[in-house]
Structures are given as C-alpha cells and as structure tokens.
Structure 1
Amino acid sequence: MTPVRPLSVGVLGCADIAWRRVLPALAGAGETRVAAVAGRNPEKTRRFAERFGCAPVDGYAALLERDDVEAVYVPLPAALHAEWVERALLAGKHVLAEKPLTTDSARTGRLLALARERGLVLMENVMFVHHRQHAEVQRLIDGGAIGELRSFRAVFAVPERPAGDIRHVAALGGGSLLDMGVYPVRAALHFLGHGLEVAGATLHRPADREVDTAGSALLSTPEGVTAHLLFGMQHAYGAAYELWGSRGRIRVDRAFTPPADHEPVLLVDGPDGTGRLVTPADDQVAGTVRAFARAARNGAAPPQDIADCLRQAALLDRIRECAGA
C-alpha cells in the first residue's frame, strides 16, 4: 500500500498553545507536517520555524498564498477567528481553528456553510472529545452502570492569568465564558444531546475588569435531565464532570486537559460502593490532529462535529443573553 502523503499545514499566529501542544502534535503525528508559520513578531516567528523545521512567513495573508500549504491551524484570539478562518477558506485551505470557532453563533453558522459550499473541512479544536476516557464513560452509561441519567455537573476553572493576557481583553474575545465555559458546555452536549435549553445563567464581571471572570449555567433536556455548569479564571484549577443516575454516579477528574501520559481514573458509585476504573493514557491532542487530517483527506468533516459546533455556539449565545451580558 502506498503511504499517504502528510497533510501540509500552515500556522496563523505564534500562540502559546501552538508552541506547547498543537505544533508538536502536527509535527509528530505522521499524518501531518508543519509547512510554515506566520506571525507578527519576526524573531518569535523564526523561533517557531526553527523548532518545528518549517518556513517563517511575514504576515498571515502571505501564508495563505503559499502553494505548499493545504490546511491552516488558527490559534489567534477568538475575536480574530472569523476574519482569518473565512480568508483561509476563500484561499482554498482546510481549517483547524481554536475554540470557540467565533464569538457568536451567526458567524459560526456562516463559516461552516462556506466550508461546506467549497468542499473544505472546518474543525473547531475542542480536543477533549477525542480522548477515549469519555467513550468509556458513555459505555458505562449505555450499559446501565448508573441507571437512568438524572443530572450532569461539570466545572472548568483556572488560576488568574497575568494582567496582559488576551483573556482579559474584551476586544479580543476574552472572558471566562468563551475560554473556559466552552468545556462544560461541550461536555453537556456530548452526553445529553442537542435538546438542551438554557434555564438560567450568571456571569460575574468585577468592576475593575472588562470581561467576565466567572459564571454558571443551568441547562435542561426535554426529559428533565439537568446540567449545572461552572467556569472561571480566578480559581484553583478544576476540570471535572459527574453524571448522576437513578442507581449511581460516574465521576471524572482532570477531564478536559489531561497530559498524554495521564491514566484517567473513573470513579463509579453504585449500590455496592465505589469502584475505580483506570483507563489507558491517551493523547487527545494527537487524536485531534489525526481526526483533522483524515477529515481533510476525505474532503468532509464528520456531521456530528459540525452539529455540535453549531449547537455549542447557540448555547453560548443563550447563556450570555440569560446572564444579561
């Protein structure tokens, strides 16, 4: 069998997440290679290019003109996603964009429609859904380990970032909802489906800040299963979810950003006590990169990914509306 040529990827921006997590996966996955990186700071761009063995490019537009770039990864601030994702699609490139795909659902819908019209893949980089621990959780639920599902609870919060961090800047799409809130919202969708509606929400914006630093949301399915979501960026680190059923509970810690060598432990409470199920370590970043490369080779993103991205965007909008933001 002839080996498949790696998907050639260009990178728009020299973000920290690109340096630490995504570019190492793109360079090492085997199904992708990093062709070029573009940035605003020439020195930083050269440093990225030297580490990952690719070409440094002066400016995002110049990268989109390169014939050796088949796809682009967009780790720019959220408020810049819509412009550069659209420009990349119009240039004929597949796109992997950091979450959230845009800052409002209408723009998200337009970009996904544009990708479909042009036969290109547009994927939102929500990496945790590619970790196999969540498939194991779903297997337990389907097998009746906790009976009928009654409620879902999820939290994602991180310590405060330095004053100059983009998460503190409203014009760049900062704030806890769009950065941290995406995780529990997507987890609720993952397990409870698309019938979720927002029953209530709060967003806390201190008087000395221009963005929300914490929030919560209460969601519900038509069947009455509730989802209580908490998020923030002035907290001790927390990334967990719990599914509570008629006969027991499943609890998952380090649920959203586990290291590749971490062996997740699922705690399953039942009538006979608590059991510990250790699942194999998994690299969700590499899994995401592989999924993107295969979708690009097939010429289409999985329909479930598109549907989840759209519904997630709508729920984020509704949370903001309910909170009066």
Structure 2
Amino acid sequence: MEGKVRIGVLGCANIAERLSLPAILKTEGAELVSVASRTRAKAEEWAARFGARAEDSYDAQIAAPDIDAVYIPLPIGLHREWALKAAEAGKHVICEKSLAENLDSAKGIIAAARKAGVVLFENFACGYHPQHGAVRAEVAKGTIGKPFLFRGAFGFPPFDKSSFRYDKSLGGSCLYEVGAYPVFMARKILGAEPQKVYCTLFYDVERGVDIKGNAQIEFPNELVAEVAFSMDSVYQNNYSLWGQKGLLRTSRAFAIPADMVPPLELLTNENFKETVVPVEAPAAAQFELIFADFCDVVRSGDAARREGMYETLLAQARTLEALRISAKEGRAVALSEFQ
C-alpha cells in the first residue's frame, strides 16, 4: 500500500496514553485517525488531546473504512476477541503483550491473521532498542567468550488492587503481564528457542492471580536463562549475559526513556581483579521504532515478513504456555509437548 498506515486505537489504556499514542504521532509512516473507548466521553477527551476522531464503540472502530490497522492496548483477556474481529475485518493488528492468555487463543489470533493476510505484531517495543543489538554484537565479536547464562528480572511494587492485572477474568497474570518481557528478551539475546522450562508461580490467593514467579529455561548448546518477575516487589528492570570471558549487563533492560543513554556495561575479571567498562549504545525511542517497523511491514505487503512475525509470536506463546503448565503441574515441561 502507499501512503501512511491509518491507525485506530481500541481502548484508552495507560500505556497508550503515555507511550504508544505519542509514538504513533511521531512515526512518519503512521497516522492516528481515531480512538475508541468504553465510554464516549473518554474517547472524545482523548480524540481532542491527540488530534483524532472519537468512535462510539470498538466495533465501530474496526468497521471504519478509513482505518488500515488497529492498536489494541486492552487487558490480555480481551485481546483474542478484538484481534479476531479486527483480522476478520481485514485490519492489520498491533497488540499489547502478551498476545493472549494461553497458547490456544494465540494460535487462533495468528490463524485469523494468516487467513486474512494481515500483519500481526505484539508490542515488545523493548526488542527494538539498539542496546540489545550492541549486546549481540559484543557476543559475535567474542568479547565475553561463549555465553552460558542469561539472567533477567522485571518487576514492580504492588499496583492498586482495582487494577485489571489482578482480575483473572481479564487475563490478569504476572507471568503474562510482566514475566513475558525477560522471557522474550532471553529468546532474543540468546538467538534460540527454548527446549525445556521449569517455572514456579506465587499467587494472590484471594484473587487467584499469580503475582510473582521465577523460571529456568534451557536452550540448545548449553545455554540457560533464569528469569524472575513480580508485581509485589521493589522495581527491577535488568538483565545480564554471562560468558566464559566476561559479563554484559544493563540496568534499564525493558523500559527505558527515549533520551537515556543505556547503562550497558562489560565486566571482566583477571586474577580476581574486576574491570567494568561502558559499552556504547545510543539512546532511542523504542516505541517509535516498533510502530515504524509495523507500518513498514504493512506498506511493503511482504508475505514473508508477515509469516516470520507469525512464527515469532507463536514461539513466544509456546514458551509462556510451557511455563504456565510447569507451574501448574510442578514439573519440567519440554517445548516438544506443544505444536
């Protein structure tokens, strides 16, 4: 297609207000056309603020003829319904993470997108930040020798208990809401897909929602990831990659301001003397980068790029499903159990 990708937004979520809509407005290949909310007043407020049109409902948003794509920042438990409707209407979709609350729902969304020939993205904007490319480049140069262990942690103090994150009916889950980040990044940095996982989850018993957890993920070639995630702990936002000759680490791994130079470091140790040096990586607006890529894939009409994204989404969904089942059944789970 030619011209800008015309985007409609389904829902007035906090992440949309703070990060995604400002990014869309700054993305050269995108045009923010309209906003839909559960209430007309909220949609009108946002439309006025962001220079868009207010829609009466999510259905009206999807049916709008001047929309090419929809951005879905709704709670995870609502993703399947609205992503399916959007794909069936021929709209491209960029959905907040995680794509769905289980593997079957993710497969259904991917199948609908594939059938309709529409682009489907999961908004892991963190994956677009150049600091992670810098980490991969250091590994390729042999700076840390053969990598062994990726260790990532992402978490927050408790949210207000009225938050959708604690609502099981809306897909509330720390694993899917927070743990998905270090899981995604482990796959990206190690450049491989997991073979086996073991996960432990801890619950808010009253609400039946997991609020923290940890996991060990085994990859091919003696690569291992350890990830921890929480909605009940002091803020953490980091990962490290430990190799034979050194360790790379960043303390702003998943969420990082657009104007912040990444605090990426290389640690080496010779004769028990530790040396720490910065690794150069530029500041970047990662939300703008993912929306730019989304629009580029839409405009290109490249079926191979669409298909590659479907497979990437499926691999992430399989991994989260394996982690969920591992915690539920108290056993190690092989990814070969899921097709």
Q: TM-score, normalised by structure 1?
A: 0.95
Match of 2:317 among 313, 322, 325: 313
Given candidates 39, 42, 55, the residue that maps to 1:57 is 55
Quote the Cα distance in structure 2 between the aligned partners of 1:248 and 1:160.
35
Gaps of 5+ in 1: none
1:172 matched to 2:170 = yes
SS at match of 1:111: helix
Give the distance between the partners of 2:115 and 2:237, measured in 1 at CA: 37
**What is residue 99 of structure 1 aligned with on the other side?**
97
Aligned residues: 322
Q: CA deviation at 1:303?
A: 4.5
Q: 1:277 aligns with which of 263, 276, 279?
A: 279
Verify the 8 A CA contact 2:135 2:189 in the aligned structure 1: no
Partner of 1:48: 46
Q: Which residue of 1 aligns with 2:154?
A: 156
| TM-aligned CA deviation for residue 85 of structure 1 | 0.4
Letter in 2 for 1:310: L
TM superposition shift of 1:241: 0.6
Counterpart residue type for residue 176 of structure 1 = C
**Which aligned pairs between 1:170-249 and structure 2 lie closer than 5 A?**
170-249=168-247
Q: Is the 8 A contact 1:79 1:102 kept in 2?
A: yes
CA contact (8 A) 1:119 1:299 kept: no
- Deviation track 1:199-220 (CA, whole Å, cap 9, x = no partner) reads 3110000333320110001011
Give 1:110 shift: 2.6
- 2: CA distance, partners of 1:195 / 1:172: 28
Q: CA deviation at 1:265?
A: 2.0
Displacement after TM superposition at 1:63 (Å): 1.1
Q: Who is 1:263 aligned against?
A: 261
- RMSD across aligned positions (CA): 1.4
Q: Note the residue ranges of structure 2 that are not aligned, 5 or more in a row.
A: 330-339
Residues 278-305 of structure 1: per-residue CA shift (max 9 Å, x gap): 4211000000110110011012445543
Comparing 270-279 with 236-245, which one deviates more in the overlay? Answer: 270-279
SS at match of 1:179: helix
Of 299, 305, 326 in structure 2, the residue corresponding to residue 322 of structure 1 is: 326
Which has the larger displacement, 82-91 or 117-126? 117-126
Paired AA for residue 92 in structure 1: G
- Indicate how the Cα distance of structure 1 residues 195 and 71 shifts in structure 2: closer, same or farther if over 3 A, else same: closer
Map 1:110-149; keep pairs closer than 5 Å: 110-149=108-147
Does the aligned pair in 2 maintain the 1:156–1:239 contact within 8 Å?
Answer: yes
**8 Å Cα contact 2:266-2:278 kept in structure 1:** yes
Percent identical among aligned pairs is 35
User: Which amino acid letter does the alignment assign opposite residue 202 of structure 1?
Assistant: T
Q: TM-score, normalised by structure 2?
A: 0.92
Residue type at the aligned position of 1:318 = A
- Report the counterpart of residue 292 of structure 2 in structure 1: 290
Question: 2:175·2:229 contact (CA, 8 Å) conserved in 1?
Answer: yes
Q: Report the CA distance between 1:113 and its aligned residue.
A: 2.6
1:32 matches 2:30: yes
Please report how far the alpha carbon of residue 28 of structure 1 lies from its aligned counterpart in structure 2 after TM superposition.
1.9
TM-aligned CA distance change 1:203 to 1:125, over 3 Å = same
SS of corresponding position for 2:144: coil
User: How many angstroms apart in 2 are the aligned matches of 1:257 and 1:145?
Assistant: 25
